[in-house]
């Protein structure tokens, strides 16, 4: 079976990465912390196993909550990654840094309870209010801002 590899980079290109295989999940996040860190009303993430990811160039990290590390490029400021102690085998990329973001199809919304009320998305995807006990993905119940 052919193994697909995806790539991405920050705006200035100092930090680049490759991710092997298919992502674990693709999800929209409406939480306030993602909104502040990206400047966008909704943030879309692509989750991979850390073991499948190789970085070229150094990220700088910021702890947005205890146990949460958001990686960015110190030269251009582009937000790159989200990592947490609760999902310590995973690295979550902001979809905006993937070279081919259009090929990753989101299948849910998380932290929908923190959404901006004027943002209407009629995609028919399931919405989860936050860390939801009904959340089926490996990410949802473990995600903290
Ligand atoms: Zn950069
Ligand atoms: Zn979030």
Q: Which two tokens stand for residue 13?
A: 């290109």
Q: Is residue 117 part of a domain?
A: yes
Cα of 139 from ligand 2 centre, angstroms: 11
Cα of 123 from ligand 1 centre, angstroms: 32
Cα of 35 from ligand 1 centre, angstroms: 20
Instruction: Please count the structural domains in the chain.
Output: 1
Burial class, 142, CB count within 10 angstroms (exposed 0-12 / middle 13-18 / buried 19+) = middle
For the chain, percent helix, then strand, then coil, each to nearest 5? 15, 35, 45
Q: What is the SS3 assignment for 53?
A: strand
H helices within the chain, ranges in order? 32-38
Q: Is residue 143 part of a domain?
A: no
Q: Is residue 137 part of a domain?
A: no
pLDDT of residue 129: 87
Domain that holds residue 87: 5-129
Q: Are 110 and 139 contacting, i.e. CB atoms less than 8 angstroms apart?
A: yes
pLDDT (tens, 9 = 90+) of the chain, 145 residues, equals 556 899 999 999 999 999 999 999 999 999 999 999 999 999 999 999 999 999 999 999 999 889 999 999 999 999 999 999 988 999 999 999 999 999 999 999 999 999 999 999 999 999 998 754 444 443 543 444 4
Q: Is residue 12 part of a domain?
A: yes
Q: Is residue 140 part of a domain?
A: no
Cα of 6 from ligand 2 centre, angstroms: 22
Q: Is residue 145 part of a domain?
A: no
The domain that holds 23 is classified in CATH as 2.170.150.70
Q: Is residue 123 part of a domain?
A: yes
Which residue in the block uniquely carries the two structure tokens 């309870």?
A: 113
Q: Is residue 134 part of a domain?
A: no
Neighbours of ion ligand 1 (CB under 5 A): 10, 12, 14, 73, 75-76
Cα of 73 from ligand 1 centre, angstroms: 5
Cα of 43 from ligand 2 centre, angstroms: 7
């Amino acid at each position: 079976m052919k193994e697909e590899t995806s790539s991405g980079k920050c705006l200035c290109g100092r930090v680049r990465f490759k991710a092997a295989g298919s992502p674990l999940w693709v999800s929209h996040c409406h939480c306030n912390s993602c909104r502040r860190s990206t400047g966008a009303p909704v943030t879309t993430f692509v989750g991979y196993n850390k073991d499948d990811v190789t970085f070229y160039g150094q990220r700088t990290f910021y702890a947005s909550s205890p146990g949460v590390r958001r990686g960015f490029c110190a030269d251009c400021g582009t937000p790159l990654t989200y990592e947490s102690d609760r999902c310590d085998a995973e690295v979550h990329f902001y979809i905006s840094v993937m070279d081919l973001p259009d090929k990753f199809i989101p299948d849910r919304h998380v932290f929908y309870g923190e959404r901006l009320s004027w943002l209407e998305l009629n995609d028919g995807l399931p919405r989860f209010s936050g860390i939801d006990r009904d959340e089926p993905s490996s990410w949802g119940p473990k995600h903290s801002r």
